[in-house]
Amino acid sequence: MSSSILHTCAFCGKVTDVSTALAAFIMNPCCAECGLSASESNIAMQNDLATLFAKQMSMGSGPPKDKKVLRPIVYSITQHYHHSSHVARQAATEPMDLS
C-alpha cells in the first residue's frame, strides 16, 4: 500500500505530489507548476491582493465630488387604496358627435 503527500499551491492552485521528497523539502514544499515554495506563494498572493486593492479601492471616506440634487419625494396620504382606474378623467371641452 502506498501513501502520497499532496501539496496544493495557494498561488496557482496546482497539486504537487511531495511524498518522494526529502524531509527538509516537505517542511516547505515547492509547486511543480510555478516553482514557488509555500511561504513564497503566500507572499506572492498578498502582493497581488495589495496591488489590486491599490488600483481599485481607496481608504478615503469622503462623499463623491459630483453630488446630484434629487427631487423631493411627494407623498399622497389617503385612508383607502385607489388605483389608476379610479382617477377621474377630465371631461372633453367639445361635445362628441355620435351621428
Task: Say how many CA atoms lie within 13 Å of 48 toward its Cβ.
Answer: 9
Q: With CA atoms as reference, report the closest residue to 37 among 48, 26, 49, 22.
A: 26
Indicate the pLDDT class of residue 15, thresholds 50, 70 and 90: confident
Q: Is residue 84 part of a domain?
A: no
Q: Is residue 45 part of a domain?
A: yes
Range of the domain at 10: 6-52
Indicate the pLDDT class of residue 24, thresholds 50, 70 and 90: very low
Average pLDDT, the chain: 69
List the beta bridge partners of residue 8.
15
Q: Is residue 10 part of a domain?
A: yes
Rounded Cα–Cα distance for residues 43 and 39 (Å): 6
Looking at the predicted structure, is the pLDDT value of residue 22 above 80? no
Indicate the pLDDT class of residue 57, thresholds 50, 70 and 90: confident
Each as own residue / partner, the long-range contacts of residues 37-46 (CB below 8 Å, 24 or more positions apart, any chain) are 38/7, 38/9, 38/10, 41/9, 41/10, 41/11, 41/12, 42/10, 42/11, 44/11, 45/10, 45/11
Average pLDDT over residues 62-85: 71
**Comparing 53 with 87, which gets the higher pLDDT?**
53
Looking at the predicted structure, is the pLDDT value of residue 94 above 70? no
Q: Give me the number of domains the chain comprises.
A: 1
Q: Is residue 37 part of a domain?
A: yes
Beta strands in the chain (DSSP E): 6-8, 15-17
Q: Is residue 96 part of a domain?
A: no
Q: Is residue 24 part of a domain?
A: yes
Q: Is residue 76 part of a domain?
A: no
Q: Is residue 57 part of a domain?
A: no
